[in-house]
């Protein structure tokens, strides 16, 4: 078991510097253009694929880093470059995590490579959980999956929303209800293979931030997928549903004892989202620090004023604290330590709130310039807003933490 450390080893530092170079030289020069276009930056993803940065092999290496720091280090550097483009590069990862968290070895080996394609034919994937009436309230999910035993097929119907890469993905991972009486415990995840009839893109959203990342509805109309596309397999699903029914029948409490398919994915990805927030916050802080050093008012740099200097001190302190929470949660996850105090949610909560606060402070330090699109902190502030919303709002993270600490089904 790897010991927890706050120091990257030489190999990790080399990878970090390599990613940082791509973020600085390729992503940042393209950031404003793709933010304005509000389109998937396929040329940038292609460049990432050419050097191996957008590939299954690279993310597998980081995912299986025994220290747990590979993924958060990668996310921080990419999102330091630009959040919208970075989400286009890493968005496929959420679908991949969905398969890794719930699928069999055969399913992982079959579908995850198809999510990325290769350097000559880049693909993306989408994880589809949220619905128009079911975001944080996963128990209200309406998308149904019905088993056709005669054909060994599952039939999916419903509408998903807020899906990164939704509709343009090669592979979609869809969470659906298989037993409505069990609420959130009656869900399962399914692979929808490429070109499956009945799946279509609905509304594409025009967003406040992360505008270079494609976000859309996914409409499922009598979508038929083979039985082997049920992640984990039917035997495992039947066993899980039987346990849930038994608990419900016996009146046993245990709101958190039978895992929900979507929640298993989000639990695994929350520290990574925290690392994304750290990257954006760090980028804004660095812009503000450089501006404060060079901007003169009343004959001296504005950093000479305590009001500005103290803000920068607080910004850096909060960023470092957020990173430490993210690293701790990532290390705990990879070493198999239980989140006994909801450390994963803690890391995501603190880092996302820090990103919103730090980017707002950066605008304040830059003054009128910070409010214009001539400076990147305006875009960073818009991008940072998403971290307290997607993959569990800040309110939901607080609920998870409170439930874990108290052992009570707080609502």
pLDDT at 255 > cutoff 50: no
pLDDT for 170 beyond 90: yes
| Residue appearing with tokens 């959130």 | 184
Mean pLDDT, residues 241-259 taken together: 65
Q: CB within 8 A of 304, min separation 6: which ones?
A: none
- Taking only the tens place, the pLDDT of each residue in 268-300 is 679 999 999 999 999 999 999 999 999 999 999
pTM for this one? 0.92
By residue count, the chain amounts to: 411
pLDDT at residue 2, as a whole number:
76
- At 339-374, the pLDDT tens digits run 999 999 999 999 999 999 999 999 999 999 999 999
In this predicted model, which residue has the larger pLDDT, 363 or 335?
Answer: 363
- φ/ψ region of 209 (left if φ > 0, alpha if ψ in -120 to 50, else beta) reads beta
In this predicted structure, what is the pLDDT of residue 268?
Answer: 64
Task: Band the pLDDT of 254: cuts 50, 70, 90.
Answer: very low
Write down the pLDDT at residue 137: 77
- Catalytic, 391? Answer yes
Instruction: Please give the pLDDT value at position 265.
Output: 56
Q: Does the pLDDT of residue 258 top 70, yes or no? A: no
DSSP state of 376: T
Active-site choice (36, 378, 391, 395): 391
CATH numbers and ranges of domains, the chain: 10-122 (1.10.540.10), 125-233 (2.40.110.10), 261-406 (1.20.140.10)
Tell me which residue of 384, 343, 232 sits closest to 335, measured CA to CA: 343
| pLDDT value at residue 267 | 64
Is a pLDDT exceeding 60 seen at residue 400? yes
- In whole angstroms, what is the distance from residue 274 CA to residue 350 CA? 8
* pLDDT at position 3: 83
- Summarised one tens digit per residue, pLDDT across range 78-119 is 999 999 999 999 999 999 989 988 999 999 999 999 999 999
State the pLDDT confidence band at 261, using cuts at 50, 70 and 90.
Answer: low
């Amino acid at each position: 078991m790897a010991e927890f450390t706050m120091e990257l080893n030489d190999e990790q530092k080399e990878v970090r510097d390599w990613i940082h170079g791509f973020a600085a030289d390729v992503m940042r020069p393209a950031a404003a253009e793709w933010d304005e276009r509000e389109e998937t930056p396929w040329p940038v993803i292609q460049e990432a694929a050419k050097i191996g940065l957008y590939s299954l092999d690279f993310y597998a290496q980081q995912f299986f880093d025994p220290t747990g720091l590979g993924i958060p280090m990668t996310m921080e550097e990419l999102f330091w470059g630009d959040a919208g483009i970075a989400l286009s590069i890493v968005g496929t990862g959420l679908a991949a995590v969905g398969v890794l968290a719930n699928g069999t070895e055969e399913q992982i080996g079959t579908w995850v490579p198809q999510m990325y394609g290769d350097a000559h034919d880049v693909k993306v994937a989408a994880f589809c959980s949220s619905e128009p009436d079911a975001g944080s309230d996963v128990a209200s999910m309406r998308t149904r999956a019905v088993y056709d035993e005669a054909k060994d097929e599952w039939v999916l119907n419903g509408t998903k929303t807020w899906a990164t890469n939704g509709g343009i993905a090669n592979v979609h991972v869809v969470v659906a209800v298989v037993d409505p009486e069990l609420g959130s415990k009656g869900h399962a995840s399914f692979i929808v293979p490429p070109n499956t009839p009945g799946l279509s893109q609905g509304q594409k959203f025009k967003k406040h931030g992360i505008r270079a990342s494609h976000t859309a509805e996914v409409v499922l109309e009598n979508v038929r997928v083979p039985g082997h596309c049920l992640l984990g397999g039917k035997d495992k699903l039947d066993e899980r549903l039987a346990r849930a029914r038994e608990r419900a029948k016996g009146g046993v409490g245990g709101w958190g004892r039978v895992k929900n398919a979507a929640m298993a994915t989000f639990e695994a990805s929350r520290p990574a989202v925290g690392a994304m927030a750290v990257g954006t916050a760090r980028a804004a802080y660095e812009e503000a620090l450089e501006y404060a050093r060079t901007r003169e008012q009343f004959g001296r740099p504005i950093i000479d004023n305590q009001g500005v200097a103290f803000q920068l001190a607080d910004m850096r302190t909060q960023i470092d604290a957020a990173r430490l929470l993210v690293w701790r949660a990532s290390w705990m996850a990879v070493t198999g330590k239980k989140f006994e105090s909801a450390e994963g949610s803690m890391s995501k909560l603190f880092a996302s709130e820090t990103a919103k606060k730090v980017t707002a402070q950066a605008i304040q330090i830059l003054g009128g310039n910070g409010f214009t699109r001539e400076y990147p902190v305006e875009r960073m502030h818009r991008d940072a807003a998403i971290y307290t919303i997607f993959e569990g709002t800040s309110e939901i993270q607080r609920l998870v933490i409170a439930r874990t600490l108290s052992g009570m089904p707080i609502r």
